[in-house]
């Protein structure tokens, strides 16, 4: 069946460090892939998405590339800020299941 496996963390980084949060998936067909973010005290919101293989989603300095050959959609940011502290969820379009979430804390 369809599933998403996400690096769970928690992850603690210093400001301006490089971030990678791993996400791999198992699915048949051609799902779309998403990263959602939940800032402290706020609801979940879409961060970025990719709808087909080799697509790169990007937003707010974050990027993720849909890699069909490795069934991955890793989230990256070159230089994190304190304001990026949040919980990040990887998701698969037609499964309606989310990854376990990765809590990121960025320290000044």
Least Cβ distance, residue 23 to other proteins (angstroms): 13
Residue linked to tokens 């890793």:
74
Nearest CA to 36 out of 64, 2, 72, 67 is that of 64
Look up residue 68 and give its DSSP letter: T
Q: What does the binding site for other proteins look like in residue numbers (CB under 8 A)? A: 28-32, 34, 36, 42-46, 49, 51-52, 89, 91, 93-101
Q: Choose between 73 and 89: whose C-beta lies nearer to other proteins.
A: 89
Least Cβ distance, residue 83 to other proteins (angstroms): 20
Least Cβ distance, residue 79 to other proteins (angstroms): 27
Do residues 49 and 33 make contact, with C-beta atoms less than 8 angstroms apart?
Answer: yes
Q: Choose between 72 and 93: whose C-beta lies nearer to other proteins.
A: 93
Q: Choose between 64 and 101: whose C-beta lies nearer to other proteins.
A: 101
Q: Could you tell me how far CA 39 lies from the centroid of its own chain? A: 14
Do residues 71 and 26 make contact, with C-beta atoms less than 8 angstroms apart?
Answer: yes
């Amino acid at each position: 069946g369809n599933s998403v496996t996400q690096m769970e963390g928690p992850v603690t980084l210093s400001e301006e460090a490089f971030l990678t949060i791993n996400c791999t998936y198992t699915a048949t067909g051609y799902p779309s892939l998403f990263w959602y973010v939940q800032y402290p005290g706020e609801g979940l919101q879409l961060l970025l998405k990719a709808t087909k293989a080799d697509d790169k989603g990007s937003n707010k300095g974050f990027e993720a590339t849909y890699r069909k050959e490795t069934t991955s959609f890793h989230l990256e940011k070159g230089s994190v800020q304190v304001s990026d502290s949040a919980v990040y969820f990887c998701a698969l379009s037609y499964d309606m299941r989310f990854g376990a979430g990765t809590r990121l804390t960025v320290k000044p």
